[in-house]
Structure 1
Amino acid sequence: MARRRDVDADDIGLVEGVLDTNDLEAAGCVVCALGARRPRLPTAPQVQLPVSGAYVHSVAALVADAHALQRENQELRAQYELVSAHNAGLAAHVSVLHDRNLAILHRAREGYRAGMTRLEQALLSRERVERDYADLEGRVADFRARADRTEAAET
């Protein structure tokens, strides 16, 4: 069973950094392939147990009821063992999927931080360009004003 420290974001097969639905499913996982099935309880036999201390009409019927209850008990035990094994498999499966999801979340956070850094740099660059543009507009206005004064002085 994979633990959090054993799963790295690079273990997830991403093509060109894009998540696919197959990345969220365990490849070749028996649980995913078969799906979870709910076990059914066996049908209860019609057994009539006498009250303690009551008269028993037929010992043979009592023995048959005891055998029926024993078979039901064995079926229930087998179902319990199957369900326990199935639950252990599901727990392992959930642990692996949880660790993969944590790795995907980690990668998403890294991508978000990188994107926010790029956005901040782009905004700062834009602000710098806008300031430079405003300075250039001011210089052009000053240059035109000087040119107009020079023209006015020459005429």
Structure 2
Amino acid sequence: MDEACRRRILRLLDQHRTMRIATLRPDGWPQVTTVGYANDGLAVYFLCGADSQKAANLASDDRVSLAVDDDPAQVVDITGLSMAARAKLVTDPAEFEKALRLLISRYPNQKGLDFPMPKTSDVCVFRLTPTIVSLLDYSKGFGHTDLIAC
């Protein structure tokens, strides 16, 4: 991956804080949900309930697809990315705490809410490592994408 593509990916990841993520259910059907995320470079972190369907899905198949984008007023302004990635449960306590702090820092303007750090028994933190990224940029033409192997 060249440096210009890496910067474009990081810019899109840094501009947003929610993504749609698809995991695979045991019956083979994809399940898509919206989650908050934070990134450290190309590593993307999200958390979910320890007893959630996402956690169960990822325990049996670590493949995910995700999308990050927004809803501009003009079609030519559509940009975003989709990513194929592998999900790994974060078990190292230092990385777990780092990921939680990154996630909480994405919402600096919270008012009246004091977010205690969740217990490791209540939540799972996953680190997503990209394998393929597709950068979407309609300013370069309808549906234009650049496919980038990681």
Return the index of the structure with the highest Cα Rg: 1
* TM-score, with length taken from structure 2: 0.17
Q: Which has the higher helix share?
A: 1
Higher RCO (C-alpha 8 Å, min separation 6): 1
Q: Which has the higher strand share?
A: 2
